[in-house]
Structure 1
Amino acid sequence: MNSTAPTTAPAPGPELLMEQLAHAAACYYRSFAVVAGGQGLTLIQGKLLSLLSRPMPMRALAELLGCDASNVTGLVDRLEARGLLRREPDPADRRVKTVLLTPEGEVAVRRIRAEITAGLPGLEQLGDAERRSLSELLGRAFPHGAGA
C-alpha cells in the first residue's frame, strides 16, 4: 500500500515576502498615479488628500509622506488653490496649521478610492476572514512608525 502523507509547502522566507510586498506596493502606486492623474493630480497630491481622513497638522502630513515640511507647504498651497483642502489654525496652538478636506476634496478622495478599488480587484477576492487576517499580519509586521 502506497500512502502519501500530505506535504506542506515550506513557509516563504522574509526575502520572498518582501518581494511580494514590493510588487503589491508597485501595483498599487501605479494604479494610484493613473487614477490621481485622471483627477488632474500628481501621485503625491492624491496621496496627501487621501491621508486627510481627519484634520491633520502640516508637520504630521510631512512625516506620513516622508518629505520635508516645506514640500508639504507647496503641495497644500496648490491643493488649496484648487479648492480641495483648506488650512485652519489649530485651536490648541494657533501657531500650528491644521489641514482638512473641503467638500470638493472629499469627493475627489472618494473617486480616487473607488477607481483604485475597481482597478485592483485582488483584495476583493479574499473573504472577510482572509482580509482581517492579512490586515492583522501586516499590522504586526509593520507597526505604525516602524522603520521611521
Structure 2
Amino acid sequence: MKTFHTFLENDNIHHVRIAVSNLERSFAFWHDVFGYERDFDFPGPDGVVNWAIKSEGGGPSIVLWVDAARAADPPPYPLFSLSLPDEQAVYDLAAELDRLGLEHGELTTLGQAARVFAYDPDRNKIGCYVRHGYRRSAEDIRLRPLR
C-alpha cells in the first residue's frame, strides 16, 4: 500500500505564493537576484492582477500575489528556503545582494553549512542555505572562516 509520503519527490514543491505590494518591483528582485522569469499571468476583471514566475535553473515556482495589507506585515521567519549548491554560492549570493544594494542577513554557519537570509522589496525573508548533503571537510572548517 502506498502512503502519501511515497509520492513526494525531492524539490517537488508545486508553487509558493508571496504577498507583494508591487508586481514590477517584486519581479525585478526575483529576476535580478535569482534569475526568475514570468511564466503566466492571473487575469482579473480589470487586467492582470498577479504573476506566476519560474526559474529555468530550478527552485519552486512562485506566485507574486498582490495583497498590500499582508505585504505590509511580513512574518519574522523565512517564508521558505532555497538550496544553494555549496558554500561558495552562499558567499556569491551575499556579494551579489551587496552589489545590487539589497538588504540581507549576516552570513552564518549552521552546523556544517553556511546560510544567508535575503529580503525581498516587501521584507519577506527568504532563507538561502547550502543544499542537503553538502559537507565541508575538517580542513575547510579550520582554514576557511566565514567571511
| Same topology, TM > 0.5 | no
Q: Which has the higher helix share?
A: 1
Q: Which has the higher strand share?
A: 2
TM-score of the two chains, using structure 1 as the length reference:
0.30
